Structure 1
Amino acid sequence: MPDFDQGKAYVPQEEVFFDDGREVELLHFVYGKADIDQIRGNPSKVLQAIDDFGRTKKYLMNVGEDKGKIVCNLIAEVKPQTMVVLPSAESASAWLIMSLERNPEFGAVISSLVDLAGLGDVVKVEIGSSDASIKRLHDAGQLKHIDLMFLDHYKPAYKTDLKLAEELKLVTPGSVLAADNVIKPGNPPYLEYVRASVEQKRKWLEQPNGDGTNPDERVGHKHINQYARRGESTALNASPGNPNLVYDSKLNHSFEPTGDPDAIEITRCTGEESG
């Protein structure tokens, strides 16, 4: 594995997950606010209400203000016509154009909050595993190209979902990727891939069973087990991707809402070499 940033190795850290109904509690909290009429149709007030719940009631795995600024600045720069968001359940970034959520209960929560914010006409919430949703939307002609993709979902799927999007020609020169939690809990397989040369990716593709359907052992097992406990499949697609794509990838240091250090990896597809 290469050194990812000035000789520093990124070791996966364990991440805390919750499956105790707090997402439904969040809905009751938001809709029970005394100023609910002022919140309706106001995305910023909806986000503020979500933050209030996280601060005063129960912790939420949301992006937070520090990372939110990075993502918002990136959106302003790229001005994407199509943005795909692969969120954790309470990701504040779920307001953006196409949000993919594998858990139907979490998806219902997101849809309700999106409608409350008045964004139902511009945000599509798709229920199902991320790879199946990407393939389904592509095959239906609803997803033709990804200008900006924010990855904040099942950590082992960061790399495999990117490779699927490459194979389907959804990610091409000009596409931009933003991957959250690359330090905490960490995602060495994804960082290794987006920072690799075309030559290296071609060599990996030639290796038999080089990319199987099992999660990479370098990604935290607690994260994998949390999905398995909910009865959700942890299998991954085995797309070959497009090793000829050239990426320029850089780490953007940031902080979790808890104050813990983390980073977002911003990756730009800058070209494609001939095969």
Structure 2
Amino acid sequence: MSWKQRLPFLRWSLVRMALGMPEFIRTGQIGDGREEAAAAYVEAHARGGDVDHVLETIDEFAREQSMLMNIGDEKGIILDAAVRRAAPAQALELGTYCGYSAMRIARAAPTARVYSVEFSAANAAIARRIWAHADLDDRITCVVGTLTDGGKTLDALDALGFTAGSLDFLFIDHEKSAYLTDLESILDRGWLHPGSVVVADNIRIPGAPRYRAYMEEEQDKRWHTVEHKTHVEYQTLLPDLVLESDYLGEPT
């Protein structure tokens, strides 16, 4: 384990990320070009068509070059296991960023169609470059938008084949204050079915308290949730939580 994982607060890229959070909230990028640099690094150093090596190269960039807002390798293992358990034919991600977690989903569910919603067109373009390098661009589709845009993005997903009970797996990793409202929008569309699995990242840091409280209130009613204790990506000091929730259906 490198000192960058043990002592993340000494990394300039982490300080720059903290300073860039207002820019990240506004644009989806930190503002220092690290997302574009990550795509270029993958294209220069990762073996084309090798998904494992592309993911490893992104992890390497995030540990050794500049921190990224990916789920990362430690929490990624939790995501992988949940995807394999769900064995989805259709999977949806909220929050593409640079495309890392969508690739993990596609790798863990090799026959699934994966859709990812991202509000930043610049991030969507970066993710598509990385997916193309990994030869996954035929299985992952990025939709630029948000679920709070008056139904435009939800309707676009409808047109892509989201129908009643069709969604087997949902990964939530975007604006933390939108976790619960966006989940409710998906429930309103009826896309989930009993047995659908929902994974949500960063429940402790930065935190999604309303989402966590909802899952606690609905435990063994609409949902059965397991909380995974883990760490904020690419370091070992800051604790985090990942929630893995099975949809039980509407109470009768």
TM-score clears 0.5: yes
Match of 2:48 among 32, 40, 49: 40
How many Å separate the matches in 1 of 2:195 and 2:226?
16
Match of 1:153 among 158, 170, 174: 174
Quote how far apart the aligned CAs of 1:61 are. 1.4
CA RMSD, Structure 1 to Structure 2 (Å): 2.0
Find out whether 1:258 has 2:230 as its counterpart.
no
Contact 1:137–1:143 (CA<8 Å) still a contact in 2?
no
Q: Which has the larger radius of gyration?
A: 1
SS of residue in 2 equivalent to 1:55:
helix
The equivalent residue for 1:114 is 131
Quote how far apart the aligned CAs of 1:134 are. 4.7
1:115-134 alignment to 2 at 5 Å?
Answer: 115-132=132-149, 134=153
How many Å separate the matches in 2 of 1:142 and 1:131?
20
Match of 2:40 among 25, 28, 32: 28
Does 1 or 2 have the higher relative contact order (CA < 8 Å, sep 6+)? 1
How many Å separate the matches in 2 of 1:136 and 1:182?
28
The equivalent residue for 1:77 is 85
Quote how far apart the aligned CAs of 1:87 are. 2.3
Could you report, residue by residue, the CA deviation over 1:120-167 in whole angstroms, capped at 9, with x for unpaired residues? Answer: 111111111244465123432522222110101011110011000000
Change in 2 beyond 3 A, CA 1:125/1:88 = closer
SS of residue in 1 equivalent to 2:156:
helix
Quote how far apart the aligned CAs of 1:115 are. 0.8
Output the amino acid matched with 1:98.
Answer: Y
Could you report, residue by residue, the CA deviation over 1:162-194 in whole angstroms, capped at 9, with x for unpaired residues? Answer: 000000001232211100000111111111112
SS of residue in 1 equivalent to 2:245:
strand
The equivalent residue for 2:197 is 176
Structure 1: gaps of 5 or more residues: 1-14, 199-244
How many Å separate the matches in 1 of 2:96 and 2:176?
10
The equivalent residue for 2:249 is 271
Output the amino acid matched with 2:32.
Answer: D
Output the amino acid matched with 1:263.
Answer: L
Output the amino acid matched with 1:195.
Answer: E
The two structures have a TM-score, normalised by structure 1, of: 0.71
Match of 1:185 among 206, 219, 223: 206
Change in 2 beyond 3 A, CA 1:142/1:19 = farther
Change in 2 beyond 3 A, CA 1:138/1:123 = closer
How many Å separate the matches in 2 of 1:271 and 1:178?
16
1:135-154 alignment to 2 at 5 Å?
Answer: 135-144=154-163, 145-154=166-175
Contact 1:159–1:190 (CA<8 Å) still a contact in 2?
yes
Change in 2 beyond 3 A, CA 1:134/1:252 = farther
Change in 2 beyond 3 A, CA 1:138/1:57 = closer
Contact 2:199–2:243 (CA<8 Å) still a contact in 1?
yes
Output the amino acid matched with 2:84.
Answer: A
More helix by share: 2
How many Å separate the matches in 1 of 2:115 and 2:148?
14
Contact 1:246–1:272 (CA<8 Å) still a contact in 2?
yes
Of 118-127 and 91-100, more deviation after overlay is shown by: 91-100
**TM superposition outliers: structure 1 runs of 4+ over 3 Å:** 130-134
The equivalent residue for 1:53 is 61
SS of residue in 2 equivalent to 1:162:
helix
Could you report, residue by residue, the CA deviation over 1:54-79 in whole angstroms, capped at 9, with x for unpaired residues? Answer: 12211111212211111111111110
Structure 2: gaps of 5 or more residues: 1-16, 22-29, 107-113
Contact 1:87–1:93 (CA<8 Å) still a contact in 2?
no
